[in-house]
Structure 1
Amino acid sequence: MAAASISQSGSAAPSLSFEDYSIYSNLSDDELLQLAVERSLTDTHCANTNPTSNTTSNATGNTAAAAATPLHCQPTARNTNQPNLSFHNPAPAQTTAHYSSPNPPTEKPPDPKTFDGTISRFMTGSGKRMVAYRRPDGSLVHIAPEPEEEEEPLFKAIRVGDASRVKALVMHPGTNLMLPSKPGWLAIHEAAWYGQDTCLRVLLSAQPGMINKRTDRGETALLVAVSKDQQQCAQVLLGNGADPDIPNYEKETPLYKACERNSAAMVAMLLNHGAVVNTPCILGWTALQEAVVRNNVEICEMLVKAGAKHNLTNMYGISALFSAAQTGQVAALRFLLKHGADVNSQAADGATALYEAAKNGHEEIVELLLSQNADANKPGKTGLLPLHIAAQRGSDTIVSMLIPATSKARVRRTGISPLHLAAERNRDNVLEALIEAGFDVNAQLSEDRSKLYEDRRSTALYFSVINNNIDATRMLLAAGANPNLDVFKPLMVAARQGCIQTITLLVEHGADINAGIPTHPTTFPAVYMFSMKYLPMFKYLLDHGGHALSCFDCVYGNRPHPPIKTTRSQRNDDSRVLTESQLRRGVQFCEMISAPSICRWAGPIIDVLLDYVGHVTLCSRLVEHLDSYSDWSVIKEKAAPPRPLMQLCRLQILQLVGRRRIKRLPLPGGLIRFLQHQEKLLDDM
């Protein structure tokens, strides 16, 4: 351990080693650091009592606790041969230091029985246990390693199995076998714990009255022996009249513990001595339920023959059958069914064994229960059927087994289809199996279940789109899913996510490009709010029937527009929540394009829109945007009348023929592409 040197005013002083103080000699660096912290917290007043006292400096070593304390608070040397400390200005006379509190702590610890203060224990970084004594004011009195308790001779002899020594101690007049040790154990408990049956016989012959005495946790010696699977000790105790039904404070009997230990021999021994089989623990579990959870049919048979009831439930209403299904114990479940257990019994929350087996993915259990006519149409507390839970979990094998046993009418009454849950969790295999089984791909959530989602979604298609699951989306659309049933259309979700593949699928299957949002009305197609920053997507929507003319309708026209009053909390994605009068008529395109996140693309957006309209007038707000950037002046000229004749003809043909029938017209390819707003028209014509 490093030493600390003390000096003042630059003069060298003899080094003072920590080893000079015996109290420090057995402390590690972490312990010394702890001591330094304690002293700094409790003795700071020492530094204020003598402001002119000499201070310490230049401390070396890992922890210089002594050097960090003012001189008059330093401990006196215990070695009379220690060299004196020299200073430039020594005190006139050397006096004995006075301590307001013992510092460092005294070597002899106070008596815990008479000590007036608090005793605290802690562990150092090296794992050494320490004990500290403090006065009521918090000042430290003593700190030292915690003394190790010496093991009682009788308990030591029992632990090592020295029966002769145990007998000698038992016969000693001063030995009291009824006096418990620190944890409240008697010698009989110690013998049962270590499996010392010979010592146990000696103790019982000397004091048979302690055979049913309990520990601080309420354990008898028999319960201790059973918990440790000490069969010889259990046999000795039972042979000497131990009560097999005394539980601990958790109401766990020896029989319950034997089942918990999965010990058939111990169970047989206890039953042969008349143990009661249906005693529940504090949570209501019986010995049979413990045996079922461990799938021990041998123990189950012994318990049932002894009168165990399989229909008893714990505090949650769970029976042994339910426990077997929950934990996937096939053999135990088959045993219970053979002995008349109700296959459709329900727990307190309404769940059946079939429901729980489907929830935990136990295929063999589901198959066994269905073969015993388990009802697949009993819901759990959330109203979901076993099929719902299996679909949510993604167990396609279990789903296949449950589909024939589940009523579609009962599914409809739940207000949610298993298709919703499969789509929500991206269970594509389950989704495919449900579609093939004929479940309605357009089934909608009930109003109560739809309200659980902020966007009020209602279809399985919506779940697939918002999950960006293209395969599931394609599967549902191919099966006839309607993309226009939700309040907030799946097309808008796909546009917001920027997924052109999903948008293409939805448009090809009839998604309404021009749909609005009832809660946020607009004078133009609402999907444009989410697609204007992605011009190829925006153009695709216009190519396939998106309205463009409505984007140029403005109630203000050439007149000045009022300022848009918005706050940060009023934004909804790229939209702006406006005044009440504006909401009644709907948000205008010129107001939407003025949003800070969109206005930087105002010119290219207007340029694309002009290709899909004839004669239009730009309102003053759109003109402001085009005037804000010099390169956009050509777009402003493009909007000026008259519009090109070819453009007007294209619009007229599209209006008369329809976009979907353009390809059928007997026209050159270049002209067809012109009508479809495709590039390189002149090269092909």
Structure 2
Amino acid sequence: MAVSSVSMSGSTGTTMEFADYSLYSNLSDEELLRLAIERSLDDAHNNGLGTESTNTTAALTRPASSGTVPPSHHAQQQPQPYACPANPPRELTNSDAVSSVSHFITGSGKRMVAYRRYDGSLRVTSEPEDETDPLIKAIWEGDAETVWLMVKKPGCNLLKANRFGWIPLHEAAYYGQYQCIKILLKAQPGMVNQRTLMDQTALLLAVSRDHLTCAEYLLEKGADPDITNKERETPLYRACEKENPEMVVMLLKYSAAVNKNCIQGWTALHEAVCRNNVEICETLVKAGAKVSIPNMYGITPIFVAAQSGKVEALRFLLKNGAHLNSQAADGATALYEACKNGHEDIVEFLLSQNADTNKPGKTGLLPIHIAAQRDNDGTDLMTYGCTPKIVRSTKIVSMLIPATSKARVKRSGISPLHLAAERNRDDVLELLIEAGFDVNAMLSKDRSKMYEDQRSTALYFAVINNNIETTTMLLEAGANPNLDMFSPLLVALRQGCIHTVTLLIEHGANVNANIPTHPTTFPATVMFCMKYLTLLKYLMDFGCDALSCFNCVYGNNPHPPIKMTSHRLNDRDEESEKICVQFCDLISTENYCRWAGPIIDVLLDYVGHVKLCSRLMEHLESYPDWNGIKEKARPPRPLMQLCRLKIRQVLGMNRLNKIHKLPVAPRLIKFLNHQEREQNKTDTEQ
């Protein structure tokens, strides 16, 4: 079957499986497709009165067209109000048994009802069908002779409407039955502008179905070309939607209003531009259409052309006086929107016409910002011919770079580098760096406050995304890893990414970085790598302050109970900001106490004479295997250890980082890097 399920919006959005009902076995694929467009009722239990509604999707810039299908065959018409919906089957007439009811009509005109019980089960059955009016049936079949005979009969009421407000003239116009229309209007010409419940006239129905001859005859007989439906759409609007230039010319010939707006402010020219139909655009403009009339969102036709990638329509509009740099209600320009949607040809054309690349939207972002941040998701990876859309967005950035003012970018408070790094746009980031954009540009305070961690640099975005390629590019281009309030090195340590940590430290990241909002007596970098002893040792090799970890204000005296919890290191509150956390308190928490011995052991390799406080001693005494660490901490420290520390101090970190290039014996290098144990093991094996 073509359709397997339909969502009943009148209930709770539950899917109804058609395979469960033998009732649908005799329906065609077309009928099942029509069935999927169903009309739903509000919850009968809550409201007590059924009201059908049509599910429509309204676009932001382009209004959805209302349906023009005949009510006897389709489900897009508004029903005639009545006191009570058609009852569900007799066995469920008890209001306590039914939760909601929904009515719809199949493509062949069969009326159906779906209802949900309170136990959650969904049932569908057919409604009793009304007998079809013989006149309507004759119109459907195009039997003009029968229609003529029936119209002549005494008592024939041509204004009798069905439940959707459709009279015989509407049926004839919809199906394009020209002869039937002539007969009906000859019998009663005054009904030419009669409307349905959706405010559709026979002319609007004929235009919507491309019945040119019928529409022309209706106009000749006095049909008003400016009567709109409930969406305030005119026949001219519908003719543009159907891309029928002959229909457009005919309607204009009968003085159709060319600048009339629909419910969302969309005009016939908007619709013609959206469809890139230059022929219709030219006809409308010659008839007086305004090329810069905005819709309710401030969107003019030129904006529509740029947004939807219609180059020919865009050229036509600019040639006829459209404002190149006009802005929508949100401040966006045509160039801005073309960049947002990745239309390379539109951007290229607008730039050739000197479009303003430095005009921001209300968010303060420029076109280059929008182009730089375009995501690499499934939408951007769609291809057009052989060219991936993602490549287009890179080309757009390259076109915008020479036309964009770096001073204007700076005033915006955000660099396109930030957005490219945030969205992992490595290709765009490389272009921007080569173009000379400042890799150390900082977010403005207002933009920085939008992030909980108050990040400021593009490097921070790269590190928090764990994007090593972007991090490398920024660092090699001169990015300073110490500008953010919360150091990118702390982020990399928290993520446990050794590669990123190495990159940052090699480019000068502060290994003794702290967190301003959570003060500690020791470097915060130690706090984030205590479970990764390799990283901890690496930090110590590059000068991390190990001595501060043993500076305890209580010494051998009893320590107060530990009140600090693990969440305090992550949650910012007034109490936590007043507490300066000590190393012995942190290592005594549940998260780290099991690692206390090995952590202390590593730290002792990088200090001289120290005295462990009573709390650290308690940890070492709590586990027998840590007795050796306890002995290692007792003074005095070995002379070799003191010499190693003195040599490291004299050489300094810059030389230590390049010690492999100095004329120093390999054995001494291993000694200075605390690798003598490995050397001794090698000598023993030999």
> TM-score w.r.t. structure 1 length?
0.78
- Tell me if the contact between 1:321 and 1:333 (Cα under 8 Å) persists in the aligned partners: yes
Q: Work out the CA distance in 2 between the residues paired with 1:254 and 1:503.
A: 66
1:551 to 1:326, Cα distance in 2 relative to 1, 3 A = same
Q: Of residues 299, 305, 310 in structure 1, which corresponds to 2:286?
A: 305
Report whether the alignment pairs 1:338 with 2:319: yes
Please list every run of 5 or more consecutive structure 2 residues that lacks an aligned counterpart in the other structure.
Answer: 1-20, 24-88, 116-123, 376-392
Q: Write the letter of the residue equivalent to 1:268.
A: V
Contact 1:204 1:211 in 2 (8 A): yes
Shift of the alpha carbon at 1:181? 2.1
Separation of aligned partners in 1, 2:102 and 2:606: 80
In the alignment, structure 1 residue 640 sits paired with structure 2 residue 634: yes
What aligned pairs does 1:218-257 form with structure 2 within 5 A after superposition?
Answer: 218-257=199-238
Q: How does 1:262-411 map to 2 (within 5 A)?
A: 262-393=243-374, 395-411=393-409
Residues 492-641 of structure 1: matches in 2 within 5 Å?
A: 492-567=490-565, 570-572=568-570, 584=578, 586-641=580-635
Point out which structure has higher relative CO (alpha carbons under 8 A, 6+ apart).
Answer: 2
Other structure's SS at 1:380 match: coil
For residues 644-659 of structure 1, the aligned pairs below 5 Å read 644-659=638-653
Secondary structure of the structure 2 residue equivalent to 1:334 = helix
- Tell me the distance in 1 between the aligned counterparts of 2:618 and 2:573: 21
Q: Which moved more, 1:478-487 or 1:336-345?
A: 336-345
Corresponding residue SS for 1:161: coil
Find the partner of 2:156 among 164, 175, 183: 175
Residue identity in the other structure for 2:610: V
**1:272 corresponds to which letter in structure 2?**
K
Shift of 1:682: 3.3
Inter-partner Cα distance in structure 2 for 1:407 and 1:128: 64
Residue 96 of structure 1 aligns with which residue? Answer: none
Partner of 2:73: none
Corresponding letter in the other structure for 1:547 = D
- Contact 1:578–1:587 under 8 Å retained in 2: no
Distance in 2 (alpha carbons) for counterparts of 1:244 and 1:473: 63
Contact 1:669 1:684 in 2 (8 A): no
Residue 144 (structure 1) shift:
9.6
Aligned mates of 1:413, 1:641 — CA distance in 2: 59
Match of 1:165 in 2: 146
- Supply the distance in 2 between the matched residues of 1:162 and 1:684 (Cα, whole angstroms): 106
Contact 2:565 2:589 in 1 (8 A): no
**Partner SS for 1:680:** helix
CA distance 1:288–1:661, change in 2 (3 Å): same
| Maintained 8 Å contact 1:564/1:578 | no
| Structure 1 outlier segments of 4+, above 6 Å | 576-580
> How far apart are 1:262 and its partner, in Å?
1.5
Q: CA deviation at 1:400?
A: 0.6
1:250, 1:282 within 8 Å by CA — same for their partners in 2?
yes
Question: Could you tell me which residue of structure 2 aligns to residue 470 of structure 1?
Answer: 468
User: Quick one: distance in 2 between partners of 1:627 and 1:652?
Assistant: 30
Larger Rg over CA atoms: 1
CA contact (8 A) 1:367 1:401 kept: yes
Cα 1:167–1:309, aligned 2, differ >3 Å: closer, same or farther? Answer: same
1:455 maps to 453
Q: Which residue in the other structure is 1:204 paired with?
A: 185
1:486 aligned residue: 484
Residues paired across the two proteins, number:
560
| Structure-2 separation of matches of 1:283 and 1:577 | 48
Q: Could you tell me how far apart the structure 2 residues matched to 1:548 and 1:629 are? A: 23
For the Cα contact (< 8 Å) 2:566–2:589, is it kept in 1? no
1:677 and 2:674 aligned = yes
| Cα deviation, residue 178, structure 1 | 1.8
How far is 1:241 from its partner? 2.4
TM-score (norm. length: structure 2):
0.78
1:361–1:122 distance in 2 versus 1, CA, 3 Å: closer
| Deviations 1:430-486, CA, capped at 9 Å, x for gaps | 000000000000000000000000001000000000000000000000000000000
* Aligned AA (1:501): H
Once the two structures are TM-superposed, the CA of residue 174 in structure 1 deviates from its matched residue by 1.7
| 2: CA distance, partners of 1:677 / 1:602 | 20
Contact kept? 1:565, 1:579, Cα under 8 Å: no
Paired AA for residue 438 in structure 1: G
Aligned residue in 2 for 1:156: 137
Distance 1:29 1:293 in 2: 44
Cα separation, 2, equivalents of 1:489 and 1:120: 57
Structure 1: which amino acid aligns with 2:475? Answer: L
Give the Cα–Cα distance (whole angstroms) in 2 for the partners of residues 525 and 214 of structure 1: 79
In 1, distance between residues paired with 2:185 and 2:166?
15
Bigger CA drift: 330-339 or 586-595? 586-595
Query: How far did 1:403 drift?
Result: 0.7
Structure 1 pair 145–285 and aligned structure 2 pair: CA distance change class (3 A): closer
Match of 1:446 in 2: 444
For residues 479 and 169 of structure 2, what CA distance do their matches in structure 1 show?
A: 74
After the TM superposition, which residues 82-101 of structure 1 pair with which residues of structure 2 at under 5 Å, given as runs? none
Contact 1:571–1:577 (Cα < 8 Å) also in 2: no
Q: C-alpha displacement at 1:680, in angstroms?
A: 2.2
Change (3 A) 1:569 1:475: closer
CA distance in 1, matches of 2:22, 2:292: 63
Shift of residue 202, structure 1, vs aligned partner: 1.0
- Letter in structure 2 aligned against 1:674: F
CA shift, 1:121, in A, is 5.8
Q: Secondary structure at the match of 1:404?
A: helix
C-alpha distance in 2 between matches for 1:466 and 1:131: 51
What's the CA shift for 1:683?
A: 6.0
CA deviation vs aligned residue, 1:358-412 (integer Å, no higher than 9, x gap): 1111111111111101000111111100000000016211111111111000000
In structure 1, C-alpha distance between the alignment counterparts of 2:213 and 2:452, rounded to whole Å: 65
Percent identity over paired residues = 66
CA separation of 1:181 and 1:381: change in aligned 2, threshold 3 A: same
Aligned residue for 1:259? Answer: 240
Preserved CA contact (<8 Å) 1:566 1:578: no
